[in-house]
Structure 1
Amino acid sequence: MSKIQVNKLHTLTGHNDCIYALVEGSDPRFFYTGAGDGMVVEWDLDQPEDGRLIARLPHSVYALAVDHERNQLIVGHNFEGIHVIDLTANKEIWSLKLTDQAIFDIKVYGSDILIGTGDGLLIVVDTVDRFVKKHVKLSSKSIRVMAIATEKKQLAIGLSDHSIKILDLMDDFQPLASLTGHTNSVFALAYSPDETQLASGARDAQLKFWETENYTLTENVIAHMYAINFLSFKEDGKYLVTCSMDKSIKVWDAVNPKLLKVIDKARNAGHGTSINKVLWSTYSDDVVSVSDDRTISIWKIEAETL
């Protein structure tokens, strides 16, 4: 049995609106945030107080992704398309107008950029030749979140039609499964590091665990009071964190799913409004969270075995 100790290390400010996007860099010492103010900021976990402005766009940024192979940051520019920033040269190198919809998530797979939009469209862009390769219409409702199982070569997509679609990355995005059970929009989705589990969270406040051999449901937990906005596994796969519209972060045993710790304003000087993203850093083992309150928090979360 583990006892979880939590210490708040930093509160970072600089954004002028709700922070919606959070992603780890190809060098995991750095992470990037995007917000309703259109600003994209780079943060250094070794010197976290000094954020560096990477881009400023006229519309809000809900989605960021890092192309690790090319050290590029892909910025989802709502109602426009994507901007690609070379993180070595610190400059935008190209952009593509794609949609008049919100862009809720972006993932990179090989030389493909995968963009999920507010009208249920998966747009596949070739990052080398910089053109749209494919449109995959999945729903009339929004694509809200995506997760990639790199070894299994599968893509999981959470939608506002309450479903999770599993697509085959080896076979031209052909459907493999459609998972049902959530009763509202699916906002949170992640494969465990060993890819044997898929965890999902939704506006229905439920946290579900699916085994990935046949994608059957193994656990269902009523996890929060309000919507689960995001979740992130620790690199060793033993724990995960969820964040919610109920202003809390929760730490879970990911192997035998159960709640281990609640992090909130009353107990831990946590966020005062909805927490939109969490990231369990592979660099520092700390947890980063971003919120509607315009701040970023960095948490030291340690497990003591009893």
Structure 2
Amino acid sequence: MSTLPKVEITKIHTYTGHKDAVYTIEPGGEDHLFYSSGGDGHVIEWDLHNYENGRLIAKVDSSVYALCYVPEHDILIVGQNYEGIHLIRLSDRSEAGSLQLGKLAIYDIQYTQGLILVACAEGEFFIIDMKSLKVLKRSVMSEKNLREILVIDDRCFVGASDGQIIRVDLKSFEIENQTMVHEKSVFGLAHHVKDQVLLTASRDARLKYWDVSQQENELESINAHMYAINDVVFRPDYQYFATASMDKTIKIWDYEQRRLIKVIDKARHGGHLTSVNKLIWSGFKQFLISCSDDRSISVWDINIAK
């Protein structure tokens, strides 16, 4: 087995502008910009060029689990739990549109090819035309919540709280395949673009590799954390990836070797005090960004030397 690389962790900064748990972070139109929201309903823009206070983009009356940036229109889609989606024009922070989806929690939003995809509580999945905000398809995919959406070309994979991933054809809007992949909720999905490998992360604390070139064939199953894994993201070069967990840690993994190479925690690195909810591995200096129930957002320099 190959020697593991040397990893040095430096915490660059911690943002502390939120008044409640930070549930989600989303990359912006430029590498140095990103957005966050959570239990306080504040939607904030942060700039990695400086570490001053963020810019308040919007304030909604309930918690936000999902944000989605649409580069073609410079619009941020905000999933306001129980009140539908709101489109915010970032140039002047004005509302560009909104759509009520029923009294449902909204767990994830993705945009692709003029379509807004929304994963909700009670297994509800929406495909919406971005221009008209017309619902093109509404379906119930599971008896439990839909937690995560990953778009790969003309397909999307939806992770559900019953342990399934559901593959949807974005041309016909029909379900192509449903595979039971975990014992509990699928919270995180990430795709290795060259290898046609899908990573799944779950409330069962397991991380799995899947071959999705034909069907979903399991390649590897790793007991990765003590508690639920909330997210998984690749570094931009796809050599490494990171997982975030309810066990308060972030773990760095070597993709090819399928091995853990570093644990970021409170004691050794000044990590988060509570559950780590979401990650971005940014193109800006390859910083890793994390958010947590502890109301903070941390920026990490992950220096990996082979």
Same structural fold, with TM-score higher than 0.5 when normalized by the shorter chain: yes
In 2, Cα distance between equivalents of 1:136 and 1:26: 31
- The equivalent residue for 1:53 is 56
- The equivalent residue for 1:145 is 148
- Alignment counterpart, residue 81 of structure 1, candidates 75, 84, 88: 84
Shift of 1:26: 2.0
In 2, Cα distance between equivalents of 1:223 and 1:5: 20
- The equivalent residue for 2:67 is 64
In 2, Cα distance between equivalents of 1:194 and 1:79: 38
In 1, Cα distance between equivalents of 2:135 and 2:285: 37
Answer yes or no: is the 8 Å Cα contact 2:137–2:173 preserved in 1: no
- Alignment counterpart, residue 43 of structure 2, candidates 30, 40, 43: 40
- The equivalent residue for 2:187 is 187
- The equivalent residue for 1:158 is 159
Shift of 1:274: 0.4
Shift of 1:154: 1.5
- Identity in percent: 41
- AA in 2 matched with 1:60: S
Answer yes or no: is the 8 Å Cα contact 2:32–2:49 preserved in 1: yes
- The equivalent residue for 1:174 is 174
Superposed CA offset, 1:79-114 (max 9, x none): 010010112233221111112010000000111111
Shift of 1:284: 2.5
Superposed CA offset, 1:200-228 (max 9, x none): 11110000011121221111100000000
- The equivalent residue for 2:210 is 210
Q: TM-score, normalised by structure 1?
A: 0.96
- The equivalent residue for 1:112 is 115
- AA in 2 matched with 1:285: Q
In 1, Cα distance between equivalents of 2:195 and 2:175: 18
In 2, Cα distance between equivalents of 1:179 and 1:250: 26
- The equivalent residue for 1:131 is 134
- Alignment counterpart, residue 6 of structure 1, candidates 9, 12, 15: 9
- The equivalent residue for 1:264 is 265
Shift of 1:175: 2.2
Answer yes or no: is the 8 Å Cα contact 2:123–2:140 preserved in 1: yes
Shift of 1:195: 5.9
In 1, Cα distance between equivalents of 2:293 and 2:210: 30
In 2, Cα distance between equivalents of 1:52 and 1:23: 14
SS of equivalent to 1:119 = helix
SS of equivalent to 2:122 = coil
Q: What is the aligned residue count?
A: 302
In 2, Cα distance between equivalents of 1:133 and 1:166: 17
Superposed CA offset, 1:135-161 (max 9, x none): 0220111000111113xx210110001
Mean Cα displacement is larger for which, 23-32 or 8-17? 23-32
Superposed CA offset, 1:107-138 (max 9, x none): 00111111110011111111111221110220
Superposed CA offset, 1:6-52 (max 9, x none): 10000111100000011101222200001100000000011133211
RMSD value over aligned CA atoms? 1.1
- AA in 1 matched with 2:113: G
Answer yes or no: is the 8 Å Cα contact 2:155–2:167 preserved in 1: yes
Answer yes or no: is the 8 Å Cα contact 2:165–2:181 preserved in 1: no
- AA in 2 matched with 1:102: A
Q: TM-score, normalised by structure 2?
A: 0.96
Superposed CA offset, 1:61-90 (max 9, x none): 000001111111000000010010112233
